[in-house]
């Protein structure tokens, strides 16, 4: 990088570039993860969100959104690398650990957390002299080079994000008072199986639909009337697949004119192309970018917490 290029970059961007260069010196493959909104990289055996702060007088400050930490905590072997003024002062905090401690970190109502790290490179928590000790994570590059000790089935970031979006849809439906169903029993969201988050364990059989298609729809919301379940909303999450199959599955609910169909994706152009083959019901399908779904989920969670706080 020449001097002209250096002047055009912020100090934090320069620190991130230095960090990535250092990663390659550790003989680690480094590549950006494009499916995530945050500045996240696949480094060796790990997925790493990189944040940088310039030298501070007493502390290093990092702004971090709840949705970002949640997404990191739900992918394989995740870390958040906090660069504290210098690459030589980098803390590799396991994302699952930070997610666990988020309730002890101050934040605003938009879910923006204020991560403060003191000069001893410990994370400041609420309460006098309360700290998350991070000494074992300082410059711990070796953590990225080795797979976790826990033996579990590996998932791609796309697969993990698919489960995250399903989990968020289930949570929103539960908050709104719907009965929720998801076919992916063993997949997890925030350390809970999607089956346990859903209020319905077995997909209801509906008279005017193909059950083999119905029970494979990513998320369904129902209204219960006595022992009957009335479908209200159907959702398909399509990130790396072709959208076609998801639209086809939801079309089995064609005769239920009250049902709204939603495709959660990051490819609106492909969505429009596929709907060209469903001209008679295309008006019933709606596209939601998965990032917007995250904003809705955050708003629903915050509203739920506010209602509990004020008792209304």
pLDDT score of 45 more than 90: no
Residues 6+ apart with CB under 8 A from 95: 49, 69, 72, 73, 75, 78, 79, 80
pLDDT band for position 57 (50/70/90)?
A: low
Quick one: the chain helix, strand, coil %, rounded to 5? 40, 25, 35
Mean pLDDT of 33-55: 90
User: What is the percent of the chain with per-residue pLDDT over 90, rounded to a whole number?
Assistant: 69
Greater model confidence, 108 or 292: 292
What is the signed CA dihedral for 202, 203, 204, 210, rounded to 10 degrees?
-140
Q: Each residue of 152-198: pLDDT tens digit?
A: 567 889 999 999 999 999 999 999 999 999 999 889 999 999 999 99
CA distance linking residue 82 with residue 27, whole number of Å: 21
CA distance linking residue 301 with residue 27, whole number of Å: 42
pLDDT band for position 58 (50/70/90)?
A: confident
Cβ neighbours, 10 Å, residue 249: 21
CA distance linking residue 127 with residue 278, whole number of Å: 58
Structural domains present in the chain: 3-145 (3.40.1350.10), 157-310 (no CATH)
pLDDT band for position 29 (50/70/90)?
A: confident
Burial category of 17 from C-beta neighbours within 10 Å (exposed 0-12, middle 13-18, buried 19 and up): middle
Q: What is the pLDDT of residue 188?
A: 95
Total residue count of the chain as it appears in this document: 312
pLDDT score of 226 more than 90: no
């Amino acid at each position: 990088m020449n001097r002209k290029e250096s002047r055009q970059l912020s100090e934090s961007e320069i620190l991130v570039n230095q960090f990535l260069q250092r990663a390659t010196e550790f003989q680690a493959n480094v590549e950006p993860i494009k499916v995530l909104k945050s500045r996240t990289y696949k480094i060796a055996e790990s997925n790493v969100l990189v944040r940088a702060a310039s030298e501070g007088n007493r502390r290093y400050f990092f702004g971090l959104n709840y949705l970002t930490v949640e997404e990191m905590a739900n992918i394989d072997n995740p870390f958040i690398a906090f660069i504290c003024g210098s690459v030589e002062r980098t803390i590799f905090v396991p994302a699952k650990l930070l997610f666990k401690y988020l309730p002890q970190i101050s934040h605003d109502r938009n879910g923006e957390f204020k991560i403060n790290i003191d000069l001893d490179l410990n994370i400041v928590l609420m309460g006098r002299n309360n700290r998350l000790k991070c000494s074992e994570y300082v410059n711990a590059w070796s953590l990225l080079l080795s797979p976790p000790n826990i033996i579990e089935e590996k998932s791609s970031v796309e697969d993990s994000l698919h489960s995250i979006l399903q989990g968020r849809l289930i949570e929103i439906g539960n908050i709104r008072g719907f009965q929720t169903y998801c076919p992916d029993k063993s997949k997890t969201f925030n350390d809970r199986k999607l089956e346990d988050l859903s209020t319905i364990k077995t997909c209801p059989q509906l008279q005017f639909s193909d059950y083999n298609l119905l029970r494979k729809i990513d998320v369904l919301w129902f209204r219960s009337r006595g022992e009957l379940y009335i479908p209200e909303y159907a959702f398909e999450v399509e990130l790396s697949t072709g959208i076609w199959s998801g639209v086809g599955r939801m079309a089995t609910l064609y005769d239920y004119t009250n049902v709204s169909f939603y495709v959660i994706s990051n490819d609106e152009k492909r969505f429009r192309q596929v709907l060209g083959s469903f001209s008679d019901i295309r008006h019933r399908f709606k596209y939601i970018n998965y990032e917007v779904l995250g904003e809705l989920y955050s708003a629903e969670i915050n509203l739920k917490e506010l209602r509990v706080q004020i008792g209304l």
